[in-house]
Amino acid sequence: MSYENKDYGPFSLGKVHLQWFAEGDPPAEKPLYMAQMPDELKNNEEIAKHGSLGALGYAYLDAMKNSTGAVKVPGDDATDDERAAFYNKIGRPEAADKYELINPELPEGMKIDTELGVSFRDFAHKTGLTQKQAKAAFEFYNNHMVSQFSEMEKARQEAVVKGGEALKTEWGTAFDRNMEVIKRTYERFGNEEFTKFMDDSGMGNIPIVLKTFLEIGKTTLDDSFLEGSLSMGKKREKGVIVYDNSPELYKK
């Protein structure tokens, strides 16, 4: 007497044991409908799994239902037309400009890169991204850039405050007069292009830059101003950083 392990596939409860009463006993008979199959299919085990012709018919209908709308993933040797058909089938917009992308809310000082939106849409369409995929990727990139900008701006503002406090300590009672010299020097030698550079880069708030303008002013401005009183207008409040945005300070 012998035993055989047989796997009935994913719809069984696992392997079961079939007991043969004698070596060489014939296996279970095939379904009667198998006799009507073409010769090349009569011994097909996959077909014989179905106990009746009706069961085979239902299996065929289920297979057809599951295959409806199925999309064949293009292989490495697929043509451009085959790839395009696949992308369109899974939901790619018909043209790059059909992607609906939303620009994020930007913090003050950050500008929208309009060229990025155009180039990203072209990239997304070329690589076959769906509307949902493109929208998610665009939002991820923009949120990352906004976060980076905000962190850099926070660090810059903190540096401005620390720099102002350091200069107040170093210059003491001469702080206001020195800032007026810097302001006059900037107005005398700066131009629109230089103003934009100082504004965009934030260099007008760096102590070493302010000290440089102070030294330039001392060698170029009228001695009567340098030795005289201030003419900056209103009195500054105690504890307020007076050069929180130097380019603005320099503008009348």
Q: Which of 15, 20, 16 is nearest to 2 (CA)?
A: 20
Rounded CA-CA distance 172/10 in Å is: 85
pTM for the whole structure: 0.53
Given this model, what pLDDT does residue 225 score? 53
Mean pLDDT of residues grouped by 10 in the chain (252 residues)? Answer: 45 42 54 81 82 78 65 79 87 93 89 90 94 95 94 87 89 91 84 81 83 88 53 39 40 37
Rounded CA-CA distance 224/60 in Å is: 103
Rounded CA-CA distance 4/25 in Å is: 13
Q: Which of 49, 196, 142 is nearest to 204 (CA)?
A: 196
Rounded CA-CA distance 42/58 in Å is: 19
Given this model, what pLDDT does residue 74 score? 76
Q: Which of 84, 87, 85, 90 is nearest to 69 (CA)?
A: 90
Given this model, what pLDDT does residue 203 score? 80
Cβ proximity of 101 and 127 under 8 Å: no
Rounded CA-CA distance 71/114 in Å is: 35
Cβ proximity of 160 and 201 under 8 Å: no
Please identify which residue in the block is written with the tokens 């990203």.
Answer: 120
- 22 phi/psi in degrees, rounded to 5: -160, 145
**CB neighbour list of residue 252: distance below 8 Å, 6 or more residues apart:** 187
Q: At CB < 8 A and 24+ separation, what contacts does 233-236 make?
A: 236/176
> What are the DSSP calls for 18-70, one per residue?
EEESSTTPPPPPPPGGGGGS-GGGTT-HHHHTSSSHHHHHHHHHHHHHHHTT-
Rounded CA-CA distance 56/47 in Å is: 7
